[in-house]
């Protein structure tokens, strides 16, 4: 069933999302994006909509809609948007904060967080991995082939990253807490280090040209960072607050790049289409 969908704010992913949804037959209205047919008023875009899609994240300051591509100084307050949502309108948003959820609940609005979709997370793993390798190649003066690289964790992103690095000829060491993860990584051609304690992590850092962290808690404290070669590049892919003690890294001269939201930065068209596929699936589930 085709729907009237309002898309407010966002970045290049939303531009791709709009094209994707229109190709799927939906009527799409937009606000806060540099499109010729974008509405001048967000209220007009939302009026009569059956589905409202907010960005990923909906806000960066906790108050205003995130719309970095168009008149961000005129971005509406999320509290005002919530008050204007039509009755029975389905509302989707990405990376909904607890405060935003509470704000929506006070207005009687149910938020569905499309970023929490397991399917989306799985599909996002590859563009995240490709973006991570892009960061490494941008910062390095040598090829990935033959490069000794460590990857901490072995979740969705770490698996995709390990496969990609191995395909490019890197010597990959996967550092993880579970024996099954180590066995799986070794079966793919990587070396494996069981993360039993910090001594194991420190020993694994020796000789690495680059380290990718995917573990969302602070593994890399001053004690671990002291063991790293000062030429080693540490790329943190973990969500906030990350896995690196930034102050200690700065004091010790270890270069750290906190690389977040890589699909949106390096593959926005693919990322937008992934969001579109996820939304269509979710809308179908609501109808059922």
Q: Is-contact 91 52, C-beta < 8 A? A: yes
pLDDT at 153 over 60: yes
Non-local CB neighbours of 255 within 8 Å, separated by 6+ positions: 139, 232, 233, 234, 249
Task: Check residue 230 and give its pLDDT.
Answer: 87
Question: Tell me: the pLDDT tens digits for 96-126?
Answer: 999 999 999 999 999 999 999 999 999 999 9
Report the distance separating Cα 124 and Cα 41, nearest Å.
Answer: 32
- Looking at residues 1-13, what average pLDDT do you find? 94
Task: Check residue 240 and give its pLDDT.
Answer: 83
Q: Is 263 exposed, middle or buried (0-12, 13-18, 19+ CB in 10 A)?
A: buried
Edge-first strand order for the sheet with 111-113 is 27-31, 4-8, 51-53, 90-93, 111-113
For the chain, state the CA radius of gyration: 21
Cis ω before 189 (30° cut-off from 0) = no
Question: Tell me: the pLDDT tens digits for 40-67?
Answer: 999 999 999 999 999 999 999 999 999 9
Q: Is-contact 26 2, C-beta < 8 A? A: yes
Question: Tell me: the pLDDT tens digits for 206-255?
Answer: 999 999 999 998 999 999 999 898 899 999 999 888 999 999 999 999 99
Averaged pLDDT score across all residues of the chain = 94
Give the pLDDT band (50/70/90) at residue 175: very high
Strands 90-93 and 27-31: unpaired
First vs last C-alpha separation in the chain: 12
Task: Check residue 288 and give its pLDDT.
Answer: 43
Non-local CB neighbours of 149 within 8 Å, separated by 6+ positions: 136, 165, 170, 171, 172, 173, 208, 209, 210, 211, 212
The alpha carbon torsion through 50, 55, 59, 60 (nearest 10 deg) reads: 180
Report the distance separating Cα 79 and Cα 101, nearest Å.
Answer: 11
Considering only residues 286 and 186, tell me which one the structure prediction assigns the higher pLDDT. Answer: 186
Give the pLDDT band (50/70/90) at residue 72: low
Q: Which tokens go with 51?
A: 């589905």
Task: Check residue 73 and give its pLDDT.
Answer: 66
Edge-first strand order for the sheet with 233-236 is 191-194, 171-176, 148-152, 210-213, 233-236, 255-258
Report the distance separating Cα 239 and Cα 139, nearest Å.
Answer: 21
Report the distance separating Cα 9 and Cα 71, nearest Å.
Answer: 10
The alpha carbon torsion through 198, 204, 206, 208 (nearest 10 deg) reads: -130
């Amino acid at each position: 069933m085709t729907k009237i969908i309002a898309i407010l704010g966002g970045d290049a992913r939303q531009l791709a999302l709009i094209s994707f949804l229109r190709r799927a037959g939906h009527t799409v209205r937009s606000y806060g994006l540099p499109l010729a047919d974008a509405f001048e008023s967000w209220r007009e875009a939302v009026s009569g909509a059956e589905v409202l899609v907010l960005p990923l994240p909906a806000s960066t300051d906790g108050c205003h809609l995130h719309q970095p591509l168009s008149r961000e100084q005129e971005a509406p307050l999320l509290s005002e948007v919530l008050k204007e949502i039509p009755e029975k309108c389905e509302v989707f948003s990405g990376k909904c904060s607890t405060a935003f959820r509470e704000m929506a609940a006070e207005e009687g609005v149910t938020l569905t967080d499309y970023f929490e979709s397991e399917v989306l997370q799985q599909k996002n793993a590859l563009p995240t991995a490709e973006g991570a390798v892009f960061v490494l190649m941008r910062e390095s003066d040598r090829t990935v082939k033959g490069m000794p690289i460590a990857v901490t964790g072995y979740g969705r992103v770490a698996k995709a990253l390990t496969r990609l690095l191995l395909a490019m000829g890197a010597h990959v060491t996967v550092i993880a807490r579970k024996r099954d993860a180590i066995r799986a990584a070794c079966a793919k051609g990587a070396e494996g280090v069981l993360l039993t304690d910090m001594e194991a992590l420190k020993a694994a850092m020796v000789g690495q040209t680059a380290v990718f962290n995917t573990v969302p808690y602070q593994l890399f404290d001053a004690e671990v960072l002291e063991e790293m070669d000062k030429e080693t590049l540490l790329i943190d892919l973990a969500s906030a607050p990350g896995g690196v003690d930034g102050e200690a890294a700065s004091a010790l001269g270890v270069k750290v790049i906190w690389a977040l939201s890589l699909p949106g930065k390096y593959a926005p068209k693919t990322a937008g289409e992934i969001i579109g596929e996820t939304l269509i699936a979710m809308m179908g589930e609501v109808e059922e």
